[in-house]
Structures are given as structure tokens and as C-alpha cells.
């Protein structure tokens, strides 16, 4: 494979070899999720992307508001199909035709949306789903492929399937293989992807490896070198990302597709909600990753061939996500919910720039009334935090340690802002009061909501996009326990 390429000198070799693994500069894109309680308007978001020259975006569904805002932007878009739609799309070509016409064709017009990929499901083979979506993926792809062909879009829009890195495993990258129970379906999947010229999409999370195992060497999660390199024959791995990536390369090789282009569908580092989730770690990881990818160094099994594209997870913090994986789950954004860069990060076009013209609610907060006895407040606290995000209050969070009264004020305020500062939402049976003095303490920020986007009303189903199983978290550990 790669080795035979290096035997040819000259430009001819470049042409021959580049047709095997397409060598183009990797693009850095972002995941734009919308499970947020404070949303910027889609137009503000698209302007933020443009202002930062982010030219690729991955969506988790086909939200018409997001897609409308992306019209005419030229931004390359991956549209998503949620797992719960796979059954219907696998069993009915009419449903598939309708999905394509409503969510793709309609936007593929002059001045429309540059839809390049459709993601069929999101991590449908995740171990914790126990195979519940598995049998729908390929039939849904077959139907959708036909629907795209009928709409004359098959040449422009490619079907892909973002997979979690728990689809493969190994103690050493070169020994990588798909999970035995997935061998057959993965063989069919990559054969289909290959025949359509589509890449393999994988989500890689060194953070989860570190979070999930106290034995995981901290410096191996980052890109600055490590005292715990993994030796794999002649190859030396100094970071978990490369080790994981090459495990996939080896797994694809075992199926006869060692040259298949790979796109990283999700990768990132959260900034809150766990000890190792903080601003400096997130900055170090994401900047290290971007520099590594843009250096075109590649990995030991794919020297000089970095991932085709990399979509950072995530564009924003999303306060309505399930916290089943951990409190960090709501804090993956490179921007906070209101479009402010959380730390300086250079995606290759200069440092991140904040969103412009964000409309905030008035500068006021809801806090616990200091003159009241708060002994009966527990239920209010619980209810407030079930609607609003209070994850930063927990151990490892930026607001952990602000005291019992601080906790209550934080919860009251979070709820008040989610309810768009509706006066009744600060009552709490007389225990709450509105203040015009910012109650933020140190790194613990008491937020003020935004006014220009839609807000999920409380009661909106806060479904989890994915559930990260313990097995996923353990992946990185395999690389070490040798
Ligand atoms: C188009 O996508 C949206 C958002 O993902 C979804 O709600 C809708 O059902 C889809 N349309 C069809 C016809 O399936
Ligand atoms: C931030 O996370 C890193 C990486 O896990 C850790 O080494 C560091 O101690 C954390 N910093 C703070 C201030 O907690
Ligand atoms: C504040 O709330 C958090 C999360 O519920 C809890 O872990 C912590 O112990 C509370 N602090 C005090 C002083 O009650």
C-alpha cells in the first residue's frame, strides 16, 4: 500500500499514489448541535462560521432553520439522519424519496445549500445500543442511494455513517480489527462506501479514555509528547489520537480497504463538568490536534496522509444534552452558548472571533433572597436544575465550591434565564429575588440568556443524541494494557 507508493519516484508516482488515497489538505470543520436551552439565531451562527472562515459544518439532523440560514453561504454541509428515523427509511423507498426531496433536493438549487454528505444515523453501532439500529443501516442506505440517484444528486451528495471508535479494538494499532459481531456488517458497509467513493467517518475521543480510566497516562491524550509512548513493531505512538486512527486503518485493511479515506466526524475536549475538562486542557488538545492535522504529517500507517476532514466537537455548549455520559457532556463547545470564544484557538485562519450582534436579555439575575430562610428550598433547587443546566455546580465543575447559598442562587438564575427572565420564574415561593449586580464568583459565571434565538421550552424532550457506554471510554485503555 503506502510502501509501494514510495518506490515510485517523480510526479508520476504522485499521480498514481494520490488516486489511491486522495492527498488534499485536510479541512477543519465543526459539529453544530442544537440541544441547547439558549440558542443563537441560525443566521448569527452562520455569520459566526463565516467570520471564522469555517467552511465545513456537520449537523445532527436536517433542521430547516439551520439549512435555510446556510443557503448561499457556500459552507459545505453534512446533513444528519437521526437513528430513530432509520427503521422507516430502511423499510420504505417512498419514505426515503420523501426524506431526500424534503431535506436535500429542496436545498440543492442555485444559491442553495452546499450539501456534500448525508450521515445515515449517528453512531448506530454503538455498543450500548445493543444492536438495535444495526439491521436498518444498510437497507436505509440502499433506499437513500436510490432516492439520490432519482433526484440526480448521487454524484454530488455522498452517504456516510459516523461510527464511534468502539466499532474496533486492539491492544496495538497494527492489530486493529472491527468488533467480531460487526465484521459482516462493516464489510458490507465499507464495500458500499467504497463503491460510492465515500469516506469512513469515525468519532475519536481521547478525553473519554482519560476520563474513564485513572491509569490512562495524561500526556498520551495530548500532542506534546509523552513518557508513555506505545511501541508497535517499528512504529512509535506518542498520542492516543494517532494510535486510535491507525487502529481503524488496520481494521479497514483487514477487510481489504486499507486505503479508504477517513474523516473524523467528532473530536474535541470539554471545558467544564470534570477535573480534566478545563479551558487549558481543551485549548492544548484542540490546538495540538489542529496543528497536527494541518502539518500533514499523518500517522505511522498513513504517513503524509492526515484525515481527509476533521469536524471539531463542538461549535457550542449545549445545555440540554443528556448528562448520562457525565456532566462534561454539556460543555464541549469551542464557543460558549452565546458565541463567545472560550479560549484562543487557531483553526488555521487566525484566532477564533466572537459572534457579532448577539442580542442578550437585560443584565439581571435571579438569586436566593438573603433575608429568607432557605431550609425548604430543596424541591425548588431540583426542579430548577431539571429544566436548566446546573452541571457546573458538581465536583470538577467551575462553580463547585460556591457554597450552599451560592448553589441555590446559581440554580435559580439558570432557570430564570432559560425562562427568558419571566418575572414569575424568579418567585420560588418568595425565596428568589432579581438583582442587577452580577453574582458571578471567580470562574463561576452566572449567565445572562440570549434573546435572539428560539429557546426550547421546558418540557421539550431532552433526548440524548448518543449514550457513551463504558466500553467506549475504555477504548484507549486497550492501547496501554499490554
Ligand atoms: C427531514 O428532516 C427533518 C429534521 O431532521 C425531519 O424532522 C423530517 O421528518 C424529515 N423529513 C422527512 C420527509 O422525513
Ligand atoms: C485541567 O486538565 C488537565 C488535563 O487533565 C489537568 O492536568 C489539569 O490539572 C487541569 N487544570 C486544572 C486547573 O484543574
Ligand atoms: C452544591 O451543589 C452541588 C451539586 O448539587 C453539590 O455537589 C455540592 O455539595 C453543593 N454544595 C453545598 C455547599 O451544598
Domains and CATH numbers, the chain: 27-356+469-478 (3.20.20.80), 365-435 (no CATH)
Active site residues: 123, 266
Q: What is the pLDDT of residue 13?
A: 39
Q: Is the pLDDT of residue 8 over 50?
A: no
Helices (H), 200-278: 206-212, 240-254
Question: For residue 82, what pLDDT is reported?
Answer: 98
DSSP result, 179-222: -GGGHHHHHHHHHHHHHTTPPEEEE--HHHHHHH-TTS-GGGGS
Instruction: Answer yes or no: is pLDDT of 452 > 90.
Output: no
Q: Which of 62, 30, 61 is nearest to 45 (CA)?
A: 30
Return the closest-CA partner of residue 268 out of 326, 341, 329: 329
Cell reading at 195: 463503491
Residues in a beta bridge with 160: 119
Name the pLDDT band for 53 (thresholds 50, 70, 90).
Answer: very high
Nearest ligand to the CA of 92 is 1
* Ligand 3 pocket test target in 394, 403, 412 with most atoms within 8 Å of CB: 394
Contact 104, 79 (CB under 8 A): yes
Residues 6+ apart with CB under 8 A from 175: 247, 250
Banded model confidence at residue 468, pLDDT cuts 50, 70, 90 = very low
Q: State whether the Cα torsion 347-260-230-7 is positive or negative.
A: negative
Rounded Cα gap, residues 156 and 128, in angstroms: 33
Ligand nearest to the CA of 382: 3
Model pLDDT, residue 316: 98
Helix (H) or strand (E) holding 412: helix 403-418
Closest CA to 22 of 14, 30, 32: 14
Ligand 2 centroid – CA 282 distance (Å): 9
Measured CA angle at 14 (ends 11, 16), to 5 deg: 110
Angle (CA) 361-363-366 rounded to 5° is 95
d(CA 366, CA 414): 8
The answer, yes or no, to whether residue 155 has pLDDT greater than 50, is yes
Per-residue pLDDT at 230: 96
Atom of ligand 3 nearest to the CA of 395: 7
Give the residue among 247, 239, 261, 307 at the shortest CA–CA distance from 28: 307
Using CA atoms, how far residue 419 sits from 207, 236, 273, 357, 451, in Å, is 33, 53, 23, 22, 11
In this prediction, residue 464 has a pLDDT band, given cuts at 50, 70 and 90, of very low
Is 58 a residue whose pLDDT tops 70?
A: yes
Does residue 378's CB lie within 6 angstroms of at least one atom of ligand 1?
A: no
The answer to whether residues 415 and 343 touch, using CB atoms and an 8 Å cutoff, is no
User: Which has the closest alpha carbon to 294: 63, 35, 24, 18?
Assistant: 24
State the pLDDT at residue 453: 59
Taking the C-alpha atoms of residue 70 and residue 56, their distance in angstroms, rounded to an integer, is 11
Q: Which of 260, 63, 166 is nearest to 474 (CA)?
A: 166
pLDDT for position 26: 79
406 Cα nearest atom in ligand 3:
1
- Is residue 168 predicted with pLDDT exceeding 50? yes
pLDDT in tens, 349-384: 999 999 999 999 999 999 999 999 988 899 999 999
Peptide bond into 384 cis (omega under 30): no
Closest-CA residue to 412 (of 370, 354, 368, 346): 368
Q: Which ligand has its closest atom nearest to the C-alpha of 270?
A: 2
User: What does the pLDDT read at residue 376?
Assistant: 87
Residue 444: all three cell numbers together:
463561576
Q: Residue 400: what pLDDT?
A: 97
Looking only at Cα atoms, what is the longest distance across the chain? 81
Considering only CA atoms, which residue is closest to atom 8 of ligand 1? 99
pLDDT tens readout for residues 254-312: 999 999 999 999 999 999 999 999 999 999 999 999 999 999 999 999 999 999 999 99
Q: Tell me the backbone φ, ψ of residue 183, rounded to 5 degrees.
A: -55, -45
Query: Could you report the per-residue pLDDT of 65-113, keeping only the tens digit for each?
Result: 999 999 999 999 999 999 999 999 999 999 999 999 999 999 999 999 9
Query: Which protein residue's CA is at the shortest distance from atom 14 of ligand 1?
Result: 99
Distance 280 CA to ligand 2 centre (A): 7
What does the pLDDT read at residue 24? 54
- In whole angstroms, what is the distance from residue 106 CA to residue 65 CA? 13
Q: What is the pLDDT of residue 213?
A: 93
- pTM value? 0.90
The residue nearest atom 9 of ligand 2, judged by CA position, is 276
Predicted confidence at residue 151, as pLDDT, reads: 98
pLDDT of 480 over the 60 cut: no
pLDDT for the residue 23:
47
- Per-residue confidence band for 6, with pLDDT thresholds at 50, 70 and 90: very low
What are the pLDDT digits (tens) for 206-248? 999 999 998 999 999 999 999 999 999 999 999 999 999 999 9
Amino acid at each position: 500500500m503506502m510502501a509501494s507508493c514510495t518506490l515510485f519516484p517523480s510526479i508520476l508516482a504522485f499521480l498514481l499514489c494520490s488516486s489511491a488515497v486522495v492527498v488534499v489538505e485536510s479541512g477543519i470543520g465543526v459539529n453544530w448541535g442544537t440541544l441547547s436551552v439558549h440558542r443563537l439565531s441560525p443566521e448569527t451562527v452562520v455569520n459566526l462560521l463565516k467570520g471564522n472562515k469555517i467552511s465545513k459544518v456537520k449537523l445532527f439532523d436536517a433542521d430547516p432553520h439551520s439549512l435555510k440560514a446556510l443557503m448561499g453561504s457556500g459552507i459545505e454541509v453534512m446533513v444528519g439522519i437521526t437513528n430513530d428515523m432509520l427503521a422507516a427509511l430502511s423499510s420504505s423507498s417512498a419514505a426515503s424519496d420523501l426524506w431526500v426531496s424534503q431535506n436535500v433536493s429542496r436545498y440543492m438549487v442555485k444559491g442553495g445549500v452546499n450539501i456534500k454528505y448525508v450521515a445515515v444515523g449517528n453512531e448506530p453501532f454503538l455498543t450500548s445500543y445493543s444492536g438495535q439500529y444495526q439491521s436498518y443501516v444498510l437497507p436505509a442506505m440502499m433506499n437513500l442511494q436510490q432516492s439520490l440517484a432519482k433526484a440526480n444528486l448521487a454524484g454530488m451528495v455522498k452517504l456516510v455513517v459516523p461510527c464511534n471508535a468502539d466499532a474496533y479494538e486492539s491492544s496495538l494499532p497494527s492489530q486493529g480489527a472491527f468488533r467480531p459481531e460487526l465484521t459482516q456488517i462493516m464489510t458490507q458497509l465499507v464495500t458500499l462506501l467504497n463503491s460510492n467513493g465515500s469516506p469512513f467517518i469515525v468519532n475519536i475521543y481521547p478525553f473519554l479514555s482519560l476520563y474513564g480510566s485513572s491509569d490512562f497516562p495524561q500526556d498520551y491524550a495530548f500532542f506534546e509528547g509523552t513518557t508513555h509512548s506505545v511501541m508497535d513493531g517499528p512504529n512509535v505512538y506518542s498520542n492516543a489520537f494517532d494510535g486510535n486512527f491507525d487502529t481503524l486503518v488496520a481494521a479497514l485493511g483487514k477487510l481489504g480497504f486499507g486505503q479508504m479515506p477517513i474523516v473524523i466526524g467528532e473530536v474535541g475536549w470539554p471545558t467544564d463538568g470534570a477535573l480534566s475538562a478545563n479551558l487549558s486542557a481543551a485549548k492544548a488538545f484542540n490546538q495540538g490536534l489542529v496543528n497536527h492535522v494541518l502539518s500533514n504529517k499523518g500517522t505511522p500507517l498513513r504517513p503524509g496522509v492526515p484525515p481527509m476532514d476533521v469536524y471539531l466537537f463542538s461549535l457550542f455548549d449545549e445545555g440540554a444534552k443528556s448528562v448520562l455520559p457525565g456532566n462534561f457532556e454539556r460543555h464541549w463547545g469551542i464557543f460558549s452558548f452565546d458565541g463567545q470564544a472560550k479560549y484562543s484557538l487557531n483553526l488555521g485562519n487566525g484566532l477564533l472571533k466572537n459572534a457579532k450582534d448577539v442580542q442578550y436579555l437585560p443584565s439581571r439575575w435571579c438569586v436566593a433572597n438573603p433575608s429568607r430562610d432557605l431550609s425548604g428550598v430543596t424541591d425548588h433547587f431540583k426542579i430548577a436544575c431539571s429544566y436548566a443546566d446546573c452541571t457546573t455546580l458538581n465536583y470538577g465543575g467551575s462553580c463547585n465550591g460556591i457554597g450552599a447559598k451560592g448553589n441555590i442562587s446559581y440554580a435559580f438564575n439558570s432557570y430564570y434565564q432559560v425562562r427568558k427572565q419571566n418575572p414569575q420564574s424568579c418567585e420560588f415561593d418568595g425565596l428568589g429575588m432579581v438583582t442587577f449586580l452580577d453574582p458571578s464568583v471567580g470562574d463561576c459565571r452566572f449567565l445572562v440568556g440570549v434573546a435572539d434565538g428560539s429557546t426550547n421550552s421546558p418540557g421539550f424532550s431532552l433526548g440524548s443524541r448518543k449514550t457513551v457506554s463504558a466500553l467506549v471510554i475504555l477504548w484507549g485503555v486497550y492501547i496501554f494494557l499490554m
